[in-house]
Amino acid sequence: WFSIKPLFIFNICSLKTGNGIDSSVSNINFNKKSSFTAGVEFEFLFPFKGDKWSFPVQVSTLTYTSSGIKTNGSEANINYNSVNISGGFRRYFFLSENWKFHLELTYTEDIKANPGSFSSGAGFSYKKFSAQIQMFLRKKVINDPY
């Protein structure tokens, strides 16, 4: 009814800024970058409906380093590091004794984003190994001018 799994995560991130106050820094499109990170998942299986529903809680890090061009032509750089904590619901579909498919909906809190973000995902598991694709909605980063 309970499991702990290590996570090895491949991220593809991008960032677009714009505040409308200072035109020299607004509307910066930072380059899309990929990165690897790690985390841990705690999964609680609900003891009904044949163990097909669970509540996964994930803790992972996010690192995004990129560059872009400001409206005035100068270069802008970003080095974003954060911790993500997410929880939600997962539904398993058993394909055979060793194979299963799952769909999930989660809510993620990023310690630097406000508010958090919903995501949906799908994945396959074979015995003790699994792979998943997850798509996040837009995140708004808290601006810290100092």
Burial class (CB in 10 A: 0-12, 13-18, 19+), 12: exposed
pLDDT per position as a tens digit, 87-100: 999 999 999 989 99
Please write the tens of the pLDDT for every residue from 101-125: 999 999 988 887 667 788 889 999 9
> Is this structure's pTM higher than 0.85?
no
Percent of the chain's residues with pLDDT above 70: 86
Question: In angstroms, what is the C-alpha Rg of the chain?
Answer: 18
User: Residue 58, exposed/middle/buried by CB under 10 A (0-12, 13-18, 19+)?
Assistant: buried
Tell me the sheet residues that pair with 63: 81
| Buried b or exposed e, range 39-51, using 16+ CB within 10 angstroms | bebeeebeeeeee
Q: How far apart are CA 120 and CA 106, in angstroms?
A: 6
Biggest CA pair distance of the chain: 60
Q: What pLDDT, on a 0 to 100 scale, did the predictor assign at position 99? A: 95
Q: Is residue 30 within 8 Å of 67, Cβ to Cβ? A: yes
Residues 6+ apart with CB under 8 A from 5: 40, 41, 43, 130
Phi, psi angles (nearest 5°) of residue 22: -115, 105
124-146 b/e with 16+ CB inside 10 Å = b?
Answer: ebeeeeeeeebebeebeeeeeee
